[in-house]
Amino acid sequence: MMNAKVQSLKAFLARAGRVALVEVAGTKGSTPREKGAFMLVSGAAIFGTIGGGQLEYMAIDKARQLLFSPLEGEMASERPEGVVSEGTARASSTAAATPPGGFAATLPSRGRDVSATLDVPLGPEIGQCCGGRVEVLIRLVDAALEAELVAAAEAEAAQQPHVYIFGGGHVGQALASAVALLPVHVVAVEMRAEALEGMPEAVETSLTPIPEALVRNAPAGAAFVVLTHDHALDFLIVAEALKRRDAAYVGMIGSRTKKATFRNWFLKSTDGSEAEFARLVSPIGGETVKDKRPPVIAALATAEIMTALAAHAGARAAPHPASCGKAMAG
């Protein structure tokens, strides 16, 4: 199954015609996005973002200057009115006006390597108060660069953490829809075919009579969210997930009573330990907000899952104390 972001990127490149790549090449201080963040700009639409606001409007305006400035031997293209962004409103043409001292721009030469650089202080001159500074590199996308962008997106998609949602009921559907918007690979698992109907296109679906088997075969660092129609099935899946020491998150929907019942069963019937049980998150989404409507539970649980995934990734990336010592000594 092709990753949704990769699919969207390919679709944009296929229909956009001439495209410019707008990339954050350097940052200082507080900035909306990190180095390497990028967006694509065509004559009528954009893909991605470098942080929004006036900085982005300036970059779009400069990108379109590149797109519609004639190269050697070319006629100038007609420039479309306004800027249409996927999922956003039409941008004001005045938003991209150059403020005095707002940025320095290196305009391109008329050759094959067409590019421009913006050096933008994020201060009151452009109506932003981040306080940092951003260097933006803008380049026209040729076939080689397009291939690089697709390959990078595919590589990034392959590294995305997996989130397994066991159960396609009301909360499962809401949770799948919420998590599918994020940079993760979502798998909805069910024993009932009808419960998988209506899942977002970005969600991989798995119809299986033995859902706990998917836990054993899941990649390291996965998150497991268990909310099936059957409490006994919930217990089987959760028990399997808690045995995975490399799991980033194990959550089960339910009450404190359900959690206590599971604990007794887990410790007595599966040789489970208190340490393993302590890793279980239940109820999912916390108990601060007393609202049991599926979309609310889904929103709270999504934040909880993403926090756990980020913490797990950070723990894996942290250097070993011995290596830190060597680095400091060196």
> Quick one: average pLDDT of 275-300?
95
- DSSP code at position 125: G
Q: Provide the pLDDT for residue 182.
A: 94
For 260, residues 6+ apart whose C-beta sits below 8 A from its C-beta are none
Report the DSSP beta bridge partners of residue 281. Answer: 251
**Same structural domain, 109 and 124:** yes
Gap between the Cα atoms of 155 and 242, Å rounded: 29
Q: Is 158 left (phi over 0), alpha (psi -120 to 50) or beta?
A: alpha
Is residue 34 within 8 Å of residue 26, measured between CB atoms?
no
Structural domain that includes position 196: 160-314
Q: Provide the pLDDT for residue 3.
A: 76
Q: Provide the pLDDT for residue 51.
A: 87
**Same structural domain, 45 and 104:** yes
**Same structural domain, 82 and 224:** no
pLDDT single digits (tens) 139-167: 999 999 999 999 999 988 888 999 999 99
- Res 303 pLDDT > 80: yes
How much of the chain exceeds pLDDT 70, in percent? 80
Which three-class secondary structure state does DSSP give residue 207? strand
**Same structural domain, 196 and 165:** yes
pLDDT single digits (tens) 242-265: 999 999 999 999 999 999 999 999
Is residue 162 within 8 Å of residue 218, measured between CB atoms?
yes
> Quick one: average pLDDT of 252-281?
96
Q: Provide the pLDDT for residue 158.
A: 87
- Res 25 pLDDT > 70: yes
**Same structural domain, 148 and 264:** no
Q: Is 91 left (phi over 0), alpha (psi -120 to 50) or beta?
A: beta
Give the range among 123-137, 287-301, 310-324 with minimum mean pLDDT. 310-324
**Same structural domain, 309 and 243:** yes
Q: Provide the pLDDT for residue 104.
A: 42
| Alpha helix (H) residue ranges in 180-320 | 212-217, 231-242, 256-269, 274-277, 294-317
End residue of a domain, out of 155, 173, 208: 155
**Same structural domain, 11 and 86:** yes
- Res 271 pLDDT > 50: yes
Gap between the Cα atoms of 37 and 48, Å rounded: 9
- Res 101 pLDDT > 90: no
